[in-house]
Amino acid sequence: MMWRPITREQWLREGELYRYLPERQIEEAEVIRCNADWLIARCYVPDTEIGCKVTSAWLLTLGLAGLEGESINWGDLSVGEVKQRGEGAWDITVEEAEPDCPGLRAYICGWLQKWGWNNVRVITEW
């Protein structure tokens, strides 16, 4: 199944619809992880030789030209853990990026906030 991002409001509404079908319910941490993974996947373009790659032109199109200067292992970049650190507060660990990646953290955090997760901290690590 292909994941399409959903807002927190949509997740809450769908959770209410599926409250009697527990097999259809998705935990909030999983929704956050899938949304963040989708944002990472959005940075790639198809490539006939290696499947997909990140290009300067595509990052520029996305408004993410600043990511080029950050140390990121694009070959293995992914969301690791999503942990709740309090009521409505979440930590997201993104693996395979240097701890000081302000552009990548701001990109993921900014979109999650736009989608309704207002208390999210993105942590990058090798």
One-letter identity of residue 64 = L
Tokens 């999210």, located at residue: 120
CATH code for the structural domain at 27-43+70-125: 3.30.300
Domain ranges for the chain: 27-43+70-125
Q: Which pTM was predicted?
A: 0.89
Instruction: Count CA atoms closer than 13 A to 117's CA, side-chain side.
Output: 29
Cα distance between residue 106 and residue 68, in whole Å: 14
Q: What is the pLDDT along the chain (126 residues), one digit of tens a residue?
A: 568 899 999 888 887 766 665 666 688 999 999 999 999 999 999 999 999 999 999 999 999 988 888 999 999 999 999 999 999 899 999 999 999 899 999 999 999 999 999 999 999 999
Q: What per-residue confidence (pLDDT) applies to 72?
A: 96
Predicted local distance difference test score (pLDDT) of residue 17: 63
Length of the chain: 126
HEC string of 36-77?
Answer: HHHHHHCCCEEECCCEEECCHHHHHHCCCHHHHHCCECCCCC
Q: 85: part of which helix (H) or strand (E)?
A: strand 78-86
